[in-house]
Amino acid sequence: MTKQPINTELALERLVQLSVSGDRVATRAFIDQVQIHGMGAHELATDIYWPTLQAITRLWRHDQMSALAYRYSTRLIRMLVDQVQALYDQAPRNGRRLVCICGPSECEDLAGQLCADLLEAAGYEVLFAGGGVASDEILSEVGQRRPDALVVFAAAASDAPAIRQLIDSIRTIGADPNLPIVCGGGVFARAPGLAEEIGADATADDPMALERMVRCALASPRRVAAVKPQRRAAVA
């Protein structure tokens, strides 16, 4: 008997409900059923977990959920993201190293982790520091480890000044002035042009677009103008 494909919108709605409730057993059982119906690990991450995280972020940002529900949901999604990472098909290593950082909130850290996991599956060596790392430590890491690109994920507008300062420091103090810098996250989607304004080479608002923009930035790290049209198409 042929399995019926999962209705992604209904699955997303159900996962939001379950994660907010904090029901770990029911959540795992639901994901098991989704996988039985043929949804693979990569699809789970990009088509279910990512939009669920976005929905939770919006609810929290607009004061439409309690602190308890926020903690339930983010920790449940963290559990799912941790589990699905081990199931990704891994591309051959491409010899490129990325340093990934993010804003300080739980949702930003989760989104950053999901993107870092997918970038690693795409063949990159990924160093994921999460949020709350001092700029001087990031500068030192960039200078010592010489990554091929820096990926910065941020959802809140309050993150932008610190990101601008970090980018300015990387460009001006000589840590690696030609380092491609790719930004992702809700704040850049809500404020078109912000990434370019603060000195980034490209930006995207979802994991698939982020991986494409990393490839674009690495292909022409000193030709920022060549990346911009593709960035806008990816996040439109």
Domain ranges (residues) in the chain: 8-85, 97-235
According to the model, what pLDDT value does residue 97 have? Answer: 96
According to the model, what pLDDT value does residue 228 have? Answer: 36
Residues of the chain with pLDDT under 50: 1, 222-236
3 neighbors 38 (Cβ within 8 angstroms): yes
* Backbone torsion region of residue 48, taken as left when φ is above 0, otherwise alpha when ψ lies between -120 and 50, otherwise beta: alpha
According to the model, what pLDDT value does residue 169 have? Answer: 87
The two three-digit tokens of residue 23, written as one number: 């029901």
Fold agreement (8-85, 97-235) = no
Nearest of 74, 87, 70, 75 to residue 34 by alpha carbon: 87
Give the fold, CATH level 3, of 8-85: 1.10.1240
Nearest of 187, 195, 188, 184 to residue 228 by alpha carbon: 195
According to the model, what pLDDT value does residue 191 have? Answer: 73
Query: What 3-state DSSP class applies to 47?
Result: helix
Instruction: Give percent helix, percent strand, percent coil of the chain, each to the nearest 5.
Output: 60, 10, 30
CATH superfamily membership of 97-235: Cobalamin-binding domain (3.40.50.280)
Average pLDDT of the chain is 85
Counting beta carbons within 10 angstroms of the beta carbon of residue 117, is it exposed (0 to 12), middle (13 to 18) or buried (19 or more)? buried
Nearest of 224, 102, 100 to residue 162 by alpha carbon: 102
Nearest of 172, 171, 126 to residue 151 by alpha carbon: 126
